[in-house]
Amino acid sequence: FAYARKPAWSGICAGMALLSGASIWLGLLGLAIALGLSKLTGLTLEAGSPSETESSQPLAKPLRLGLSFALGTLLVVGSLFSLFPAGLGAWASSLTAFFAGWAQPAGTPTLKPVVALIVYSPLALIFAPVAVLQEWRRERPLVLLAGLWFLVALALTLIYPGRQVGDVAWAIVPLWALAARAISANLDKGST
């Protein structure tokens, strides 16, 4: 939603994500590192040409709107519509649990998430590299960012001491996005 410039929906989804548990922080860290590396390499993410009203609108107004919707979602959903006010601290406790995971190993073997990735997403592992190779020459920044995000998320999953097998989901999301891109592009070529 942020890429499509929909600040209200971005804020709602961000608020829901912050309430989803400690694994969100590993995903956000991976995405932030991937975005930072993309900026260093010169990849720019432009969401197409905005309309005249959007281009004249400063960044602060959509950002404030998104943050207000995120805060509203945290307050309403986090407190279960004011029925469970103690739930408001859930997002903060998930952050402390994430940091505790850096100090206390969970005991999950390093290669277990890799095996899970291979078992759960063999089709994506075949088609995602195809998408990256096809789009590399066209310099499609969103595809290249997804490839970078996959690599960063997988690396973070492997080095995070408190890793769980489910943390590999943060690598599967961009992997399947890439695979879907390759499958749809090749299906379009086959139908013409």
Q: What is the DSSP string of the chain?
A: -TTTT-HHHHHHHHHHHHTS-THHHHHHHHHHHHHHHHHHHT-----SPPPHHHHHS-SHHHHHHHHHHHHHHHHHHHTTTTT-GGGGGHHHHHHHHHHHHHHS-----TTHHHHHHHHH-HHHHHHHHHHHHHHHTTT-HHHHHHHHHHHHHHHHHHH-TT--GGGGHHHHHHHHHHHHHHHHHHHHHHH-
Residue 72 region, left (φ>0) first, then alpha (ψ -120 to 50), else beta? alpha
Q: What is the pLDDT of residue 56?
A: 44
Q: What is the pLDDT of residue 151?
A: 93
Q: What is the pLDDT of residue 46?
A: 56
Is residue 45's pLDDT more than 90? no
Within 13 Å of residue 152, how many CA atoms lie on the same side as its CB? 20
Mean pLDDT of the chain: 83
Is residue 178's pLDDT more than 60? yes
